[in-house]
Amino acid sequence: MRGHDESNGSLWYSLDLEELVERDHPLRAIKRMVDDALRGMDADFRRAYSRNGRPSVAPERLLKALLLQALYTIRSERECALGLVRSVRKRHKVAVTTLAADMGYDSGDFLAALERESVRPHVAVRAGRIIAEDEGGDARRRARVRQRNAGYWRSQRRRKIVEEFFGWSKTVGGLRRSRHVGRWKIAQQVELTAAAYNLVRMRRLLAA
């Protein structure tokens, strides 16, 4: 089933996503042209997707993500994460010192690139012998050593805390599928769900 391309705006983010892109950035003009073209493809998208089942990621978003990958030569999610680290440091003058991620980010080149940015990767490394003797192999070996440290497990717990909210909000909070129509109504639903999740956690923390 086809999902719909609705902008998230600020929702519960502490930074408005609009603030991350300059007003005169070339991407804004490109986005307007792409949005116009995608609106013209609406009938094609409707024919391509079933009316039944769970909504997919909106095809408009998938196509725009692919365009960004082409425009910025981004080959993977790992490169996107590395780009975010550099962007946060450059634009907001915030130093990212540690990055926690799951096994999907176990890539020697990615880990080595993070270390060159003075970021300590707390990434789960796949089991088995690390054969590579290059910079990436050394970075993976260092990442495996970090798995024995208390700091690594704290980072992984923090990562899971963030992911737990998204899981809870879908399975318990009712956000798997929106009950409302309209950006401001959906924003209110998300904020209310986030508040409910915080109350649940606060109750547990106070009882501890």
Q: Do 61 and 90 touch, CB atoms closer than 8 A?
A: no
Measured CA to CA, the distance from residue 135 to residue 188 in angstroms comes to 48
Q: How many CB atoms lie within 10 A of CB 40?
A: 9
Measured CA to CA, the distance from residue 39 to residue 42 in angstroms comes to 5
Burial of 26 (0-12, 13-18, 19+ CB in 10 A): exposed
Residue 9 region by backbone torsions, left for phi larger than 0, else alpha for psi between -120 and 50, else beta: left
Q: What is the pLDDT of residue 11?
A: 42
Q: What is the pLDDT of residue 152?
A: 93
**Sign of the torsion formed by the C-alpha atoms of 67, 70, 72 and 73:** positive
Q: What is the pLDDT of residue 12?
A: 47
Task: Give the closest residue to 68 by CA, choosing from 27, 24, 25, 32.
Answer: 27
Strand partners, 99: 121
pLDDT in tens, the chain (208 residues): 666 666 554 444 455 666 767 788 788 888 888 888 889 989 988 888 888 888 888 889 888 877 776 677 676 778 878 887 887 777 666 677 889 988 989 999 999 999 999 999 999 999 999 999 999 999 999 999 999 999 999 999 888 888 888 888 888 888 888 778 888 888 888 888 888 888 887 877 777 6
Q: What is the pLDDT of residue 73?
A: 64
Q: What is the pLDDT of residue 14?
A: 55
Q: Do 141 and 115 touch, CB atoms closer than 8 A?
A: no
